[in-house]
Amino acid sequence: MKLHLTLPQSNLIKEAVKVTGSKSESNRILLLQALYPNLEIDNISNSDDAQVMAKGLKIASGVVDIHHAGTAMRFLTAYFASQEGKEVVLTGSQRMTERPIGVLVDALNALGAEITYEKNAGYPPLKIKGKKLTDHKVSLPADISSQYISALLLNAAKLENGLELALVGKITSVPYIKMTLALLTQLKIENSFEGNSIKVFPKKEVKTQTLVVESDWSSASYFYSIAALSEIGSQITLSSYKKNSLQGDSVLSKIYTSFGVETVYQENSIILKKIANPTIENLEWDLANAPDIAQTIAVTCFGLQMSCYLTGLHTLKIKETDRLEALDVELSKLGAAITVTDKTLTLKATTAIHADVAIDTYNDHRMAMAFAPLALKTTIFINNAEVVSKSFPDFWRDMATLGIGVQVQ
Ligand SMILES: O=C(O)C1=C[C@@H](OP(=O)(O)O)[C@@H](O)[C@H](O)C1
Ligand SMILES: C=C(OP(=O)(O)O)C(=O)O
């Protein structure tokens, strides 16, 4: 589906938008619910990734296909490896077979699991024969993806002796590890994270309770970008959010103050108010703790004709696509002066934004959504716009709600 996006007729429409639940929280809680069936979930994400996760957890043998969902791939690998009696081949999309998983497989096999590669060593598909894992100490590199660590931690309390991880190297995407531990703490599963050591203690049962998923902050980033690119005086209301979020991407409220966007927390909503022009000329930010908002921020800077220097982007090359390369190609089409390395992105202030460019999305939901806010500055086409369903199926409907012209070509 190719979409043509056009400018809002006047100011943004002040409709409140209810954003679906965090996919990161949802996929963690779904796994915990499979381990502790007396848990209930509220505000679960309606994303493809949460749906494939829920479906995958119900399968006991045969092929489990998790499509593009990285968290589902990693979390289910640890889950099936520790489920005695289950035997599956865990696979996904073509891109998933190019996203590395060797660190997690090595760690699980070192704990006594039986996982083998169906095709290429270090990559899905995996053949997993579930076993009772009794070893409880393992060390693993922590600088490639935090999802390997969360996968181990989520399943840890059901292991006979719990789990003790020694993390090697600079720990990346730390807030996601803290989110995992915070959810365990909510279930009164004892855990600790000190220096490079994480411990989770065994717990056979948890109290019956409902875990409420906060709405997705990565999804909120596109609305922050819209607010930043809109006229002073515009505002957008999003629910359901809270000030003390488990999601690291909530750092958006801080970052976007530099673009003149203020965040007001009101009951269970956030109101994004465009109150000023950008307060800086160049944004410098290390995004190692919030990699999923890199595309949004780069495009916001481009739309505001600002320069930026983004660092900590070393994980972007192994996500849904090589996001650094994709940003380089697509922003250049629009007229940007951009340079990327394997962990940084530099953008020079642009003088003009080209009109009617068709943005390619590379099977990456965040490419489609990050570029959409440019509709406030120019007319733009988004190719394969349906990719948004990976995390935010209602995205285009919500864009239209705000008054942005969304036409199928
Ligand atoms: O644990 C999670 O829910 C996630 C962790 C991050 O991955 P990395 O740790 O691989 O950076 C993030 O990019 C991904 O979208 C979700
Ligand atoms: C990287 C992402 O997801 P995953 O790794 O779970 O596929 C994302 O949603 O930006």
Same domain, 166 and 229: no
- The CA distance from 408 to 52, in Å, is 27
Same domain, 221 and 199: no
Q: What pLDDT, on a 0 to 100 scale, did the predictor assign at position 25?
A: 98
Instruction: Extract the tokens encoding 394.
Output: 């209602």
The label of the residue with tokens 């990693």 reads 74
pTM reported for the whole predicted model: 0.98
Residue type at 154? L
In this predicted structure, the answer to whether residue 9 has a pLDDT above a threshold of 80 is no
Same domain, 402 and 268: yes
pLDDT mean across residues, the chain:
97
The label of the residue with tokens 């022009």 reads 277
Same domain, 152 and 297: no
Give the residue from 163, 183, 212 where a domain finishes. Answer: 212
DSSP states along 122-184 = TSS-EEEE-------EEEEE-SS-THHHHHHHHHHTTSTT-EEEEEESS--SHHHHHHHHHHH
Q: What pLDDT, on a 0 to 100 scale, did the predictor assign at position 13?
A: 83
Instruction: Extract the tokens encoding 81.
Output: 């490896």
What H or E segment, with its residue span, contains residue 218? helix 217-229
Q: Judge contact between 152 and 165, C-beta under 8 A.
A: yes
Q: Judge contact between 382 and 10, C-beta under 8 A.
A: no
Same domain, 167 and 208: yes
> Ligand 2 atom 5: the closest Cα is on which residue?
70
Residue 15 confidence class, pLDDT cut points 50, 70, 90: confident
- The CA distance from 121 to 212, in Å, is 38
Give the residue from 212, 244, 267 where a domain finishes. Answer: 212
> Ligand 1 atom 15: the closest Cα is on which residue?
292
Q: What pLDDT, on a 0 to 100 scale, did the predictor assign at position 350?
A: 92
Closest CA to 353 of 329, 325, 331: 331
Predicted complex: ipTM over 0.95: yes
Residue 175 confidence class, pLDDT cut points 50, 70, 90: very high
Q: What does the pLDDT average to over 325-352?
A: 97
In this predicted structure, the answer to whether residue 11 has a pLDDT above a threshold of 80 is no
Closest CA to 342 of 304, 363, 370, 312: 312
Going from the Cα of 192 to the center of ligand 2, the distance in angstroms, rounded, reads: 26
Same domain, 223 and 200: no
Residue 165 confidence class, pLDDT cut points 50, 70, 90: very high
Beta-carbon contacts of residue 253 (< 8 Å; ≥ 6 apart)? 263, 270
pLDDT in tens, 128-143: 999 999 899 999 999 9
In this predicted structure, the answer to whether residue 7 has a pLDDT above a threshold of 80 is no
Beta-carbon contacts of residue 87 (< 8 Å; ≥ 6 apart)? 61, 128, 129, 130
Q: What pLDDT, on a 0 to 100 scale, did the predictor assign at position 66?
A: 98
Same domain, 221 and 178: no
For the CA of 366, the nearest atom of ligand 2: 10
| CATH for 256 | 3.65.10.10
Same domain, 206 and 265: no
Going from the Cα of 71 to the center of ligand 2, the distance in angstroms, rounded, reads: 7
In this predicted structure, the answer to whether residue 289 has a pLDDT above a threshold of 90 is yes
Q: What does the pLDDT average to over 177-188?
A: 98
Same domain, 178 and 285: no
> Ligand 1 atom 16: the closest Cα is on which residue?
24
Instruction: Verify whether ligand 2 is closer than 6 Å to residue 21 (CB atom).
Output: no
- b/e map 117-154, b = 16+ CB within 10 Å: eeeeeebbbbebbbbebeebebebbbbbbbbbbbbbbb
Same domain, 134 and 183: yes
Instruction: Verify whether ligand 2 is closer than 6 Å to residue 67 (CB atom).
Output: no
Catalytic residues, by residue number, are 292
Mutating to test ligand 1, I would choose from 52, 178, 292 the residue with most ligand atoms within 8 A of its C-beta, which is: 292
Same domain, 119 and 258: no
Give the residue from 169, 193, 212 where a domain finishes. Answer: 212
Same domain, 242 and 387: yes
Q: 395 lies in which domain range?
A: 3-21+214-408
What H or E segment, with its residue span, contains residue 222? helix 217-229
DSSP states along 44-102 = ---SHHHHHHHHHHT--EEEEE-TT-HHHHHHHHHHHHTSTT-EEEEE--TTGGGS--H
In the chain, the number of structural domains is: 2
pLDDT in tens, 342-398: 999 999 999 899 999 999 999 999 999 999 999 999 999 999 999 999 999 999 999
